[in-house]
Structure 1
């Protein structure tokens, strides 16, 4: 891959001064760009996310909805949070099942983006718990998973998720799913 400035970070190696100081010599500053491997992935994801921005005419409508992001990977959680906020959603987030239970005890979101593999926890345990609670049972859950196998996706959908998106996230598909489940200012029921 060719070196691209969007996939690098600036690093200032000298003070931002130029000129001569008596007794100290002349000071120059230089900036260079250094590429970090993980930055390329994040840059592509951010480019896709910002390119997938929705119509600003419906921005106000989206502010009426809140989304809980349950994701154990901090970078993925922050990327989803930033994209959702940019899209106009209110966002809560949790890194594991315990934090998810705490958030859902204080705030009822309109939708949940659920990572299925939460380290040692199975995200579907949260879904099963939600379906047992009358106040949470109708909340649409969109699974986000690195498992691309058809059998795994079928298991996720049969467990009660409204949709299953593979990582890396296609933000256009995510927008379509959120629009479907949160259409016209109302929340669609899963399996409807």
Structure 2
């Protein structure tokens, strides 16, 4: 089973993403802030990371930088997740090391296709 780390501070968004990914058959670990995300990455290996870019304690860009600068996690694909996208945000997140981007509220069909694309599975 492929494992995904969700880094999201909003409980409702976390539960929606968690429920969707578990329904799709993925193993999921949650982190409510950037520090917990870094701790989770030190304890386990993941196939994909969904990273909210606006987090308490350590923002998403700092988490992303730490992920990409750590040889153990540098190759794990990271998808930026945010509700406050401004023009140019998507390009900025990709320049910083994200493989892709999804905005909130999440469109479940686009979300499924995006997750499956990066994990080598395809929606039926």
- Please report the TM-score for the alignment, with normalisation by the length of structure 2: 0.91
Structure 2 CA distance for partners of 1:145 and 1:118, relative to 1, 3 Å: same
The answer to whether 1:105 aligns with 2:105 is no
Greater RCO, CA 8 A, separation 6+ = 2
Per the TM alignment, residue 150 of structure 1 is displaced from its structure 2 partner at its CA by: 2.2
1:65 aligned residue: 2
CA distance in 1, matches of 2:71, 2:56: 28
Q: Which runs of 5+ in 2 are unaligned?
A: none
1:175 aligned residue: 112
CA distance in 2, matches of 1:166, 1:178: 14
Taking the TM superposition and a 5 Å limit, the aligned residue runs for 1:117-156 are 117-119=54-56, 121-156=58-93
State the structure with more CA Rg: 1
Q: Secondary structure at the match of 2:35?
A: helix
Stretch of structure 1 that moved more, 160-169 or 143-152: 143-152
1:10 aligned residue: none
- Please report the TM-score for the alignment, with normalisation by the length of structure 1: 0.60
The answer to whether 1:87 aligns with 2:24 is yes
Which aligned runs of 4 or more in structure 1 are off by greater than 2 angstroms? none
1:34 aligned residue: none
Residues 70, 100 of structure 1: 8 Å contact kept: yes
RMSD: 1.2
